[in-house]
Amino acid sequence: MEKYIKQRGLGDIHQKVLNEERLSVEDGRRLYECNDLLALGALADIVRVRKNGDNAYFNYNQHINYSNICINLCKFCAFGCKKEAGIAWEMSVDDVKKKIREHLDEPITEVHIVGGCHPDLPLEYYLDMLRGIKEVRPDVHLIAFTCVEIANFAKVSGNSVQKTLELLIDAGLGSIPGGGAEVFSPRIRQILCEKKLSGDGWIEVAKTAHRLGLKSNATMLYGHIETIDERLEHMDVLRRTQDETGGFMSFIPLAFHSRNTQMSEIAATTGVTDLKNIAVSRLFLDNFPHIKAYWVMLGAKVAQIALSFGADDMDGTVKEETITHMADGDTCQALGHKTLIRLIREAGRIPVERDTLYNVLKTF
């Protein structure tokens, strides 16, 4: 394998990986420019094994998208809409509790809650939602509200981000999902989502959360108009933040789905691009414990193959997802744990059921 990687001109990067030396942005660029996927996979696999052995994680989770009403109306999003739009919805706390009750007979350990940036729902609504879920299912971990939503709650309620987070934690918030990061580049944000919280703002919320003891994830939306340098810049900001706080658990590259968005002319990402983003992120983000291949966006087959390209996590059972599916993602709404276990086993990995914070619950 060493000879093979050397022949692809990546011998020096291979040496750095073996020595556990940090890769530079220039190294990252060379990795993205390399079209030998197997060489990239072999390199990324070294880091995956070092960090996670042969474990590949999944969890039993349920997604709840409580409202799609959003003031940002990002060009890449088919989910968010104005209050007046025919497709707008807003669940009451009772509706959310009903969704939780629907799955009470299943061993769900995590509820993942995300919505749009609503113009006027009061902070009390979100606090009641967390408390309400805990009433129905006290043991469940609540990974809820992206950094962008949390900044919006702070703005609408007039509280600081720190105070907002403290109130959410009191109400049952357990950790923060990685959405809303998109690509931090101001150029991209100006073109795609100018109303959205800036990259700096997103990082500030994540840092505040980490200071309060919360763990969080980070995403990157790729496959639209971003350049390779913008992807690397995004990951570099995350890597520096992680050096400072250590609060990130996993990085999740999200493949852009263009249908029903204002960018519907953009073709779907290819398998090569998907696997490259998994492999390069595994190599570049040396201080992130986990790289997640989110099957909802990658499709179960590519997500399974991603386990040989640096990923060690497939996310979970999900149950019902609307963000990708409104952009016509063609994966199903839920995967049974048996399917996840089979996908992981056939990839040659050990299926490990985890909780949100990556504590091992069961090894299969």
Provide the sign of the torsion angle of the four alpha carbons 326, 330, 336, 341, taken in this order: negative
> Does residue 285 interact with ligand V47 by CB under 6 A?
no
Window contacting ligand V47 (CB under 6 A); options: 12-20, 186-194, 197-205, 319-327: 319-327
What is the nearest approach in angstroms of ligand V47 to the Cβ of residue 246? 17
298 binds ligand V47 (CB under 6 A): no
Alpha helix ranges (H) inside the chain? 2-7, 11-18, 25-33, 37-52, 93-101, 123-136, 147-157, 161-171, 186-192, 199-211, 228-245, 271-284, 295-298, 300-306, 323-326, 337-346
- Under the criterion CB under 6 A, does residue 66 sit at the interface with ligand V47? no
Q: How far is the CB of 316 from ligand V47 (least distance, A)?
A: 9
Binding segment for ligand V47 (CB under 6 A), chosen from 19-27, 232-240, 303-311, 323-331, is 323-331
Residue 288 contacts ligand V47 per CB under 6 A: no
How far, CA to CA in Å, does 26 sit from each of 13, 143, 229, 311?
Answer: 10, 35, 9, 22
Choosing from 42, 70, 77, 293, the residue that interacts with ligand V47 (CB under 6 A) is 77
Q: 219-238: which residues touch ligand V47 (CB under 6 A)?
A: 219, 221
Is residue 299 near ligand V47 by the rule CB under 6 A? no
Please tell me whether residue 291 binds ligand V47 under the rule CB under 6 A.
Answer: no
Sheet holding 360-363, edge to edge: 313-316, 55-59, 350-354, 360-363
Nearer to ligand V47, 14 or 112 (CB): 112
CB of 38 to ligand V47, least distance (A): 27
Residue type, 60: Y
In the list 239, 257, 319, 337, the residue contacting ligand V47 (rule: CB under 6 A) is 257
* Residues 103-142 close enough to bind ligand V47 by CB under 6 A: 114
Residue 65, class by beta-carbon neighbours within 10 Å (0-12 exposed, 13-18 middle, 19+ buried)? Answer: buried
User: 362: how many CB neighbours lie within 10 A of its CB?
Assistant: 10
Residue nearest to ligand V47 (CB): 179
Q: Which stretch binds ligand V47 (CB under 6 A): 10-18, 121-129, 302-310, 322-330?
A: 322-330
* Residue 284 interacts with ligand V47 (CB under 6 A): yes or no: no
The whole-angstrom separation of Cα 336 and Cα 344 is: 13
- Tracing tokens 């609060």 back to the chain, one arrives at 247
Q: Which stretch binds ligand V47 (CB under 6 A): 65-73, 87-95, 128-136, 254-262?
A: 254-262
The least distance separating ligand V47 from the CB of residue 88, rounded to whole angstroms, comes to 16
Q: Does 34 bind ligand V47 (CB under 6 A)?
A: no
Cβ atoms 149, 100 nearer than 8 A: no
Cβ distance 276 to 38 under 8 Å? no
Using an 8 Å Cβ cutoff, are 317 and 334 in contact? yes
Q: Which of 10, 64, 78, 303 contacts ligand V47 by CB under 6 A?
A: 78
Contact call for residue 28 and ligand V47 (CB under 6 A): no
Instruction: Rule CB under 6 A: choose which of 165, 315, 340, 344 binds ligand V47.
Output: 315
Q: Report how far Cα 61 is from the mean position of its chain's Cα atoms.
A: 14
Task: Measure the N-to-C terminal CA separation of the chain; round to a whole number of Å.
Answer: 30
**Which CB sits closer to ligand V47, 47 or 181?**
181
Query: Closest distance between ligand V47 and the C-beta of residue 313, in Å?
Result: 9
Task: Please tell me whether residue 103 adopts helix, strand or coil conformation.
Answer: coil
Rounded to a whole number of angstroms, the minimum distance from the CB of residue 39 to ligand V47 is 28
Residue list 163-222, contact with ligand V47 (CB under 6 A):
177-180, 182, 217, 219, 221
Residue 194 amino acid letter: E
**DSSP of 19-44, one letter per residue?**
TTPPPPHHHHHHHHH---HHHHHHHH
Minimum CB separation of residue 193 from ligand V47 in Å reads 9
Contact 219, 254 (CB under 8 A): yes
Residues in the site for ligand V47, rule: CB under 6 A? Answer: 76-79, 114, 146, 177-180, 182, 217, 219, 221, 252, 254, 256-257, 261, 294, 297, 315, 323-324, 327
